[in-house]
Amino acid sequence: MTGVRVAGVGLTQFGRHPERTGRDLFGEAAVAAREESGVPPEDIEAINYGNFMGSLSERQGHQAPLMAEMVGVRCPATRYEEACASAGVAVREAVKTVRSGEADVVLVGGCERMTNLSTAAVTEALATAADELYEIRAGMTFPGAYALMQRAYFEEFGGSREDLAHISVKNHDNALPNDYAQFHRAITVDEVLDAPMVADPIGLLDACPVTDGASALVLVSDEYAVEHDVDAPVSITGSGQGGDTLALQDRDHLAVTPATERAATEAYDDAGVTAGDVDAVEVHDCFTIAEVMALEGLGFYDSGEAIGAARRGETTATGERPVNLSGGLKAKGHPVGATGGSQVVEMTRLLRGDHPNSEHVEDATVGLTHNAGGTVASAVVHVLEVDR
């Protein structure tokens, strides 16, 4: 079984681009990734494309071959849909394809165009990732769902909104030097606590924004990299995926995320590492409480301990294990179909040393990305390692 190397990465600037189409956004990211890799278009054997709501936001189904056109190739192209974990699953399947020997070069990534819709329409489209029969019909939205999870966490383990506010502050600080981030504004704990309430106890500054953007990576086999002298020091050495019930009502408890635990266990075993070996982390912080539950599910903290990690300085840029040096979904942005690919792009840049926040992890050798769908009914974890 061959290893899988990241030969090139590409991103658009995350933010509001209502005048641009999804094909335009993904084309920009994908061409950038291919050009950085130096891989000629004719060597691309497959395209894996993550997208969640394009059929609703752009009235465009069958998007994958359209995206192949934007890159100038005619290889097989497949769209992956797993809500906010769409691109994470696309990356995982690309890793499996290269490892198996079925292909030596796969272009993978994702895109979402959202800001051309009203806030109400975006909320309604995102809600389709929940259970239509038992949640959507009852008026459930994802801020409401995560509010229930946050209340359950506080009741079971303790913690406060101030603890969570430190996560928002941290991630906004991390986004400041990141040119691809949606927000470049520092915020304070008081601003987070005083922000308008979205779904009690979740305030506006506890939540990620509505975002347009795209991400892309070129993955190649070890053999291809050697034969074609491709400079690709970062490898994806571990991949795992976990699942849980779609509706919150069917879960044993709301304050933990078994899908993350299952995905992490598989990824660690695959890479031959443990949580203690990981130097830097990108987690799916669609809401601040989601970062807490992710860190616990990934095995970095026991249940109830991650709530104060940012406040204690453990997960800040200068902490012992920095979390979301990109700015995370909270401040970098969350174009849902692109996010899982974006996390791998950001971790690759961090480990290579060409990210604006690489100075905080200059000796790092192992990174981890965590991408979740819905209320973590789906989770995908990847372990990345760099040659030093």
**Residue 170 CA to chain centroid, in angstroms?**
17
- pLDDT of 388 over the 90 cut: no
Cα(370)–Cα(344) distance, integer angstroms: 9
Residue type, 239: S
Please report whether residue 388 resides in a domain.
Answer: no
pLDDT of residue 298: 98
Q: Within this chain, do residues 19 and 162 fall inside the same structural domain, yes or no?
A: no
The predicted pLDDT at position 1 comes to 79
Mean pLDDT of 38-62: 97
pLDDT value at 81 more than 80 = yes
Whether 334 is catalytic: yes
Distances (CA, A) of 188 to 90, 180, 327: 36, 22, 15
User: Of 17, 166, 284, 334, which is the active-site residue?
Assistant: 334
Residues 336-352 pLDDT 10s: 999 999 999 999 999 99
End-to-end CA distance of the chain: 23
Nearest to 331 by CA among 112, 182, 167, 166: 182
Backbone φ and ψ of 326, nearest 5°: -75, -20
Q: Pick the catalytic residue: 75, 84, 111, 286?
A: 84
Residue-wise pLDDT for 299-347, tens only, equals 999 999 999 999 999 999 999 999 999 999 999 999 999 999 999 999 9
The token pair at 221 is 């086999």
Number of domains in the chain: 2
Contacts of residue 227, Cβ cutoff 8 Å, sequence gap at least 6: none
Q: CA 323: distance to chain centroid?
A: 12
Question: Do residues 201 and 91 both lie within one domain?
Answer: no
Same domain (yes/no): 193, 250: yes
Mark whether 22 and 141 lie in a shared domain: no
- CB 364 within 8 Å of CB 322: no
Of 22, 89, 90, 16, nearest to 56 (Cα)? 22
Same domain? For 111 and 258 the reply is: no
Do 102 and 140 fall within a single domain? no
Q: Does the annotation count 111 as an active-site position?
A: no
Separation CA 10–CA 33 (nearest Å): 4
Q: Is the pLDDT of residue 110 over 80?
A: yes
Q: Tell me the angle at which helices 142-157 and 288-297 cross, rounded to the nearest 10 degrees.
A: 60
Q: Would you say 35 and 109 are in contact if contact means Cβ atoms under 8 Å apart? A: no
Within 10 Å of residue 12's Cβ, how many Cβ atoms?
Answer: 24
Please report whether residue 387 resides in a domain: no
List of E strands, the chain: 4-11, 46-50, 77-80, 105-112, 197-199, 202-203, 213-221, 234-243, 280-282, 366-373, 378-386
Structural domain includes residue 196: yes
Which tokens sit at 301?
């903290």
What percent of the chain stands above pLDDT 90? 99
Do 342 and 288 fall into the same domain? yes
Round to whole Å and give the CA distance between 13 and 345. Answer: 13
E strand spans, 298-377: 366-373
Cβ–Cβ under 8 Å, residues 225 and 3: no
Q: How many CA atoms lie within 13 A of 264 on its CB side?
A: 27
**CATH number of 46's domain:** 3.40.47.10
Q: Give the integer Cα–Cα distance in Å for 209 and 211.
A: 6
Q: What is the DSSP letter of 359?
A: G
State both tokens at 365.
């050798």
Same domain, 152 and 272: yes
pLDDT at 258 over 90: yes
pLDDT > 70: what percent of the chain? 100
- Is the residue at 125 inside a domain? no
Q: Which domain holds residue 343?
A: 130-207+238-381
* 359 in the same domain as 246: yes
> 191-219: per-residue pLDDT in tens?
999 999 999 999 999 999 999 999 999 99
Q: Are residues 225 and 277 in the same domain?
A: no
